[in-house]
Structure 1
Amino acid sequence: MQQTVLIIDDEPDIRELLDITISRMGLKTIAVGNVHDAMQALQSDPAINLCLTDIKLPDGSGLEIVRHIQQSSPSTAVAVLTAYGSTEVAVDALKAGAFDFINKPVSVEQLRNLVKSALKLGRRDTQFDGSSNTRLLGETPCIVTLREQIIKLSRSQAPIYISGESGSGKEVVARLIHANGPRSDAPFVPVNCGAIPSELVESEFFGHAKGSFTGAYDHKEGLFEAANGGTLFLDEVADLPLNMQVKLLRAIQEKAVRRIGSNQEIPVDVRILSATHRDLSKAVAAEHFRSDLFYRINVIEVQVPSLRDRRTDIPLLAKFMLDKIGREWGLTPPVMSDEALQTLCDYRFPGNVRELENIIERAATLCENSIIKPDDLSLPSAPATTEGANTSAKIASEISHMEAAKGDMESYLANIEMQIISDAMEANRWNKTESAKMLGVTFRQFRYKLKKHQLDN
């Protein structure tokens, strides 16, 4: 069945351009010039699939149309036309429920991409899609609500800011927003902004032309181009250098990038999702993060709950992780004893779901007779409470270290440092940025230590 697009713009030339371009895509069009005629068209033809409206109209605002469609026909996608550089208006439209926006003067290529993405929405099942590799498990109210949010937000192209503690599952949420939206068949490109050396950030994001700098032996595609048509997930976005934040903002607003050493702008159709475990509003207040970029990527915020806020999900998560280990190892998965499960439920999990996964994998390796007992979990012990116990432990530790370091203290200390770094990397799934933060050192210092101990492979 032929799909229908309603075009609303009071400028005849633009209305004609939109009409011709969209008609050539094999779509039926209805073109009007004001709010009154638009409302009549929406009433007389409830089967309209997409509405494309200008913001400034002779008898009102395009935002009225966005809100009306959200209330009366939420299955109809609506996108807005905005004046060049009108970021605030675009953000208001997205918050009101617009699928996306496009700047005037209209780029025909961007218009086609927007229409194709919007019309895919009507062909998608609204049932939550969690693939076997990406799941949001849990039955607590906060997780049920989060799944509902994901379904709703996946229908929009609004930039989403995902907040939450380290290890809580922010990337899982980003992947599910992508998987449930019209871009699901296109690339999902995650990038840890804090893991890229500052001198390479621009090249990584935008690419470079051959010969643009020493070492640029060939043309290189950047992350924006790699994610074209899909989703770019900016993890730890708060770690971006300030000078790069300006360029990122421009790329998001213009929907185009320019490779280093090139004068040619490359149009990109990318949805931006971002996340950080930091308080981004505090970073803005401290002038470590640009306020204009913050408001651009934080159109809608999604909060991922910590594992402490959904303790009743721990048994379900633990069983899923054990079953996964069984499949990967080709063995019958170990069984969690009631005592071990209670021990897990009583633990505070500062590292959230990621820490639980590491604990389960370690316990599955250490347990005997395929039964996990409390000792197999190797959870951190409670600190000693008496002065005598503290003193005894301190003396024993000093004697042990002194004996071990005899004859070659430097080598002994180097081995301890290497073990600490290895443990931190394992605890953070080999995420260098998170490991450096855990140990209280800068990313540059951490990279140096990795290289020193030959752990950077």
Structure 2
Amino acid sequence: MAQSGSQRVLVIDDEPDIRELLNLTLSRMGLDVTTVEDLTEARRALASSAFSFCLTDMRLPDGNGLDLVEEISEKYPDLPTAVITAHGKVEDAVNALKIGAFDFVSKPVDLAILRQLVNTALRLRSAESDERESTQDDGGEPEQPAALDRLIGKSPAINQCKTMIAKLSRSQAPVLISGDSGSGKELAARLIHELGPRGDGPFVPVNCGAIPSELMESEFFGHRKGSFTGASTDKDGLFKAADGGTLMLDEVADLPLHMQVKLLRVIQEKAVMPIGAREEVKVDVRILSATHQALKPLVESGKFRSDLYFRLNVIELHMPSLQERREDIPLLAGHFLDDIAEQWHEDGPPEISEEAMAALKQHEYSGNVRELINILQRAVTMCEGSAIQPEDLMLEHVGTPEAPAPAPPTAEVLESADDVSLDSYMEDIEKQMLEDALKKARYNKTRAAEILGISFRSFRYKLKKFGID
């Protein structure tokens, strides 16, 4: 993909042969290339001309290329800069990304990877220029991308996340997204992908804990026909599926040690070796990782490789729990009730009474946003009037001074039910909930399962268990 000749590129390297090779490669892409051999000349060139991309070696006669990366980050924040690192020097690459480098390439420079990197950086530069011009035409201040509105909330914690996501989308640095289950880690990863220069490419999320250990290598890297029993055709792995885009490794802490070694190599070499293949296959993939577990204790106990940890955790984005942003609960509840009404083809969502909203704000959410959605689905099912009441939420310890939570059945009540056992008593309640959900869903079993927050398979099993048609 050739770029317009108006795009200017600065290359800094002290080896004449490499400068000539890079000049020739980039010029053939239709770029206007300036080459210099040290930091002094680079600073002079940056001061006198405007560039769209900068590529610098790490080791230079008058200093370290990382010093230049830092200067560019401060003085020319819109200029994407990549570094050339020595083969296998993971620490150099990590340090470069941490201080603001867009990406890196290793020596000997793979020209195909370099061309991909440059095209990605120039797409980012072009998109940001268009955004600035649009803002100037409107006469306003730059605003956050509209896509960030999908991360609902206005609390300081969530606003900080939005700012961080917008910044991370400009880089190719690996990001480790931490946070409790249900806090929105995959949504954050999708936003980083969509807002960046890879937004038109694939976004491939994979749950590392859901793939059997013996199948991981084939799933991640692919295989060739006949490479093992059952390999009847060639198969591209997840890395190849994400080529040109982003691969999200969810629950990365669940990766077994043998896969951690192979993953580290893929990240360093930007290539995969399918099972049964004789040659590596180049891949252009940005890695985003997510985990609800703290990785550092796993590193200290030897369950997670320290070199992979530092490679994945170049930048950490923490997604706050619902407890950390309770002020967002009314906004979230309103949004999800609208979604539920639309999905279930209701005329409109019920309102939430003040008492019910107070109960939602006080609840301890072990499942975070995902749990809030399930509670609201249940409340819409149980609500008889136009407004959701505390009892419709079916939360533990829900109650108000005016309407205390109902007491559990007493021994006398249980005894009067023909010596009913606790098991049969709970089964009666469960059966009633199944029947209520079916009525609410107009006997659509798939929708009834969604109302109860269980899988269709589990719902079907329970119907059979209780003899409900």
Give the TM-score of the pair, scaled to structure 2.
Answer: 0.83
- Alpha-carbon distance between aligned partners in 2 of 1:401 and 1:21, rounded to the nearest angstrom: 79
Structure 1 gap segments, 5+ residues each: 406-410, 416-422, 436-448
Which of residues 102, 108, 111 in structure 2 aligns to 1:108?
111
Which of residues 39, 43, 52 in structure 2 aligns to 1:39?
43
2:362 aligned partner: 346
2:376 aligned partner: 360
User: What CA RMSD, in Å, does the superposition of the two structures yield over aligned residues?
Assistant: 3.2
1:334 and 1:370 in contact (8 A); partners too: yes
1:56 and 1:62 in contact (8 A); partners too: yes
Amino acid at match of 1:162: I
2:139 aligned partner: none
Compared CA separation, residues 392 and 323, structure 1 to 2 (3 A): same
Compared CA separation, residues 399 and 24, structure 1 to 2 (3 A): farther
CA displacement at 1:334 relative to structure 2 = 1.9
CA displacement at 1:361 relative to structure 2 = 1.5
CA displacement at 1:389 relative to structure 2 = 7.8
Amino acid at match of 2:26: I
Q: Secondary structure at the match of 1:114?
A: helix
Structure 2 gap segments, 5+ residues each: 132-141, 400-406, 432-447
1:80 and 1:102 in contact (8 A); partners too: yes
Compared CA separation, residues 389 and 227, structure 1 to 2 (3 A): closer
Are 1:377 and 2:380 an aligned pair?
A: no
Are 1:29 and 2:40 an aligned pair?
A: no
- Alpha-carbon distance between aligned partners in 1 of 2:243 and 2:396, rounded to the nearest angstrom: 45
- Alpha-carbon distance between aligned partners in 1 of 2:36 and 2:454, rounded to the nearest angstrom: 55
Compared CA separation, residues 32 and 426, structure 1 to 2 (3 A): farther
- Alpha-carbon distance between aligned partners in 2 of 1:398 and 1:237, rounded to the nearest angstrom: 52
Are 1:140 and 2:155 an aligned pair?
A: yes
1:161 and 1:299 in contact (8 A); partners too: yes
1:130 and 1:136 in contact (8 A); partners too: no
Compared CA separation, residues 429 and 255, structure 1 to 2 (3 A): farther
Are 1:75 and 2:78 an aligned pair?
A: yes
1:59 aligned partner: 62
Task: Number of aligned residue pairs: give it.
Answer: 418
Q: Secondary structure at the match of 1:120?
A: helix
Compared CA separation, residues 354 and 429, structure 1 to 2 (3 A): farther
Q: Secondary structure at the match of 2:150?
A: coil
**After the TM superposition, which residues 193-208 of structure 1 pair with which residues of structure 2 at under 5 Å, given as runs?**
193-208=208-223
CA displacement at 1:427 relative to structure 2 = 8.8
Q: Give a deviation string over 1:115-174, Cα, whole Å, max 9, x none.
A: 011111122237433549x81111111111111111111101110001111111111111
1:294 aligned partner: 309
Which of residues 241, 262, 280 in structure 2 aligns to 1:265?
280
2:323 aligned partner: 308
Compared CA separation, residues 371 and 192, structure 1 to 2 (3 A): same
Give the TM-score of the pair, scaled to structure 1.
Answer: 0.85
CA displacement at 1:400 relative to structure 2 = 3.9
- Alpha-carbon distance between aligned partners in 2 of 1:424 and 1:82, rounded to the nearest angstrom: 53
1:441 aligned partner: none
CA displacement at 1:425 relative to structure 2 = 11
Compared CA separation, residues 185 and 399, structure 1 to 2 (3 A): farther
Compared CA separation, residues 215 and 14, structure 1 to 2 (3 A): same
